[in-house]
């Protein structure tokens, strides 16, 4: 008689998204409603996942991830942390809408204090579509979350057989199944229910960061201002910049800010906001010494983070310091 070791226990927190979305027709992959299905529907669609792990499902939310708020994100992080603290839990899968999966994953990557695998996944096509990608993504996510090999790598995002670090991954296309990409490539891949890793992120994450969920009661108010040709100060005025604790400016090229909106943003900075220079280009770095040289003092540059993740990092930075040099150090560290 062969004795098999017990399967790892993986908890699946479902939050909605297209992976739980349904349309009236199998050929309709855009006119659907996200978050209509339940976590049990996913278990029923992928019974093979139970060969990889003992699964427990929890319906945390049923929403389109474009409606996610910072309060919900914080509550999600607290729930994942609670699960990870249990000796009975070996890993967590979060099913999530793809629109904001990268922000949620990055937040978890920086605040969770555990080496246990946490994997986010979603889908580009609704569950009712021909060749729906959700079931295979879910199977891959369970494979990664249940593998001891995945521990200590930070929060991971599994999409389309690729295993990405939450630090790097971005949704690059509105509809393509292969939408998720990382600028330095994925960490690994899933083949036949087995993760294979080829590299690791070198920037600190999870237990190695200075951020702690226990010290965060709420996230500061924040917004992103997108640069465009012809931008003028009425845009910054519409943002009512003085109301924000964090303003990320998704600027031109190397974080360049049009001279017409420097003053309103500088006024916000003087009023106490953290003003962050990012780039709208979709890739690349923003250096301290940007093209707008006069902005170097007191303005934060993002290194290689995109504007949406820079917003998350700036909010977390404010949970530990309001000193601008320290905030810049945080951007250069994570
Ligand atoms: N593909 C998706 O999941 C998109 C959906 N709107 C969501 O983010 O919830």
Tell me the DSSP string of 151-210. Answer: TTS--EEEETTEEEETTT-EE--SS-TT-EE-TT--SEEEETTEEEE-----S--GGGSS
pLDDT score of 5: 83
State the CATH architecture for 221-333. 3-Layer(aba) Sandwich (3.40)
Q: pLDDT at position 236, please?
A: 73
CB burial of residue 58 (10 Å; 0-12, 13-18, 19+)? middle
Cα separation, 248 vs 278, in Å, equals 7
Predicted local distance difference test score (pLDDT) of residue 169: 98
Helix (H, G, I), strand (E, B) or coil at 26: coil
User: Range(s) for CATH 3.40.50.40 in the chain?
Assistant: 221-333
Instruction: Give the pLDDT score at 309.
Output: 98
Q: Give the model's pLDDT for residue 263.
A: 87
21: left (phi over 0), alpha (psi -120 to 50) or beta: beta
pLDDT at position 235 = 78
For residue 154 the two structure tokens come to 């930070």
Do 36 and 81 meet the contact criterion of CB atoms below 8 Å apart?
no
Fold of 9-208: Rossmann fold (3.40.50)
Q: What is residue 292's predicted lDDT score, i.e. its pLDDT?
A: 57
Question: Which of 34, 103, 132 to mutate for ligand 1's pocket (most ligand atoms within 8 Å of CB)?
Answer: 34
For the record, the structure tokens of 195 come out as 């993760």
First to last CA, the chain: 50
Measured distance CA(170)–CA(98) in Å, rounded? 9
Is 30 annotated as catalytic?
no
> What pLDDT sits at residue 64?
98
What burial class does residue 231 get, using C-beta atoms within 10 Å of its C-beta: 0-12 exposed, 13-18 middle, 19+ buried?
A: middle
Write out the residue limits of the CATH 3.40.50.1170 domain(s) in the chain. 9-208
Residue 126 Cβ < 6 Å to ligand 1: no
Q: How many Cα neighbours within 13 Å face the side chain of 67?
A: 11
Contact 138, 93 (CB under 8 A): yes
Q: Spell out a b/e string for 127-152, using b for 16 or more CB atoms within 10 Å of the CB, else e.
A: bbbeebbbbbbbbbbbbbbbbeebee
**With a 6 A CB cut-off, is 65 part of the ligand 1 pocket?**
yes
Region of residue 101 (phi > 0: left; psi between -120 and 50: alpha; otherwise: beta): alpha
- Ranges of residues in the chain whose predicted pLDDT is under 50: none
Distance 4 CA to ligand 1 centre (A): 38
- State the catalytic residue, choosing from 15, 95, 98, 121: 98
CA of 35 to the centre of ligand 1 (A): 8
Q: What angle do CA 308, 190, 17 make, to 5 degrees?
A: 45
pLDDT for position 109: 98
């Amino acid at each position: 008689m062969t004795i098999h070791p017990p399967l790892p226990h993986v908890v699946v927190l479902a939050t909605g998204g297209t992976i739980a979305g349904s349309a009236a027709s199998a050929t309709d992959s855009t006119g659907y409603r996200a978050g209509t299905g339940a976590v049990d529907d996913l278990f029923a669609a992928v019974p093979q996942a139970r060969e990889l792990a003992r699964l427990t499902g929890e319906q945390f939310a049923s929403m389109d991830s474009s409606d996610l708020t910072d309060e919900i994100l914080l509550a999600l992080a607290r729930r994942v942390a609670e699960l990870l603290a249990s000796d009975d839990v070996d890993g967590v899968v979060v099913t999530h809408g793809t629109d904001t999966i990268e922000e949620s994953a990055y937040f978890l990557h920086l605040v969770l204090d555990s080496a246990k695998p946490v994997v986010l996944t979603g889908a580009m096509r609704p569950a009712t579509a021909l060749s729906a990608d959700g079931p295979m993504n879910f199977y891959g996510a369970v494979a990664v979350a249940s593998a001891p090999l995945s521990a200590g790598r930070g929060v991971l995002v599994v999409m389309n057989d690729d295993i990405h670090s939450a630090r790097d991954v971005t949704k690059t296309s509105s509809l393509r199944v292969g939408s998720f990409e990382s600028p330095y490539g994925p960490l690994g891949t899933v083949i036949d229910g087995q993760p294979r890793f080829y590299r690791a992120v070198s920037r600190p994450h999870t237990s190695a960061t200075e951020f702690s969920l226990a010290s965060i009661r709420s996230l500061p108010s924040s917004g992103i201002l997108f640069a465009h040709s012809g931008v003028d100060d009425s845009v910054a005025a519409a943002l009512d910049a003085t109301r924000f604790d964090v303003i990320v400016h998704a600027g031109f090229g190397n974080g360049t800010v049009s001279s017409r909106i420097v003053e309103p943003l500088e006024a916000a900075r003087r009023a106490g906001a953290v003003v962050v220079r990012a780039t709208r280009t979709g890739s690349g770095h923003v250096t301290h010494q940007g093209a707008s040289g006069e902005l170097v003092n007191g303005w934060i540059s993002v290194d290689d983070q995109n504007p949406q993740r820079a917003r998350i990092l700036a909010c977390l930075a404010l949970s530990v310091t309001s000193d601008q040099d320290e905030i810049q150090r945080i951007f250069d560290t994570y």
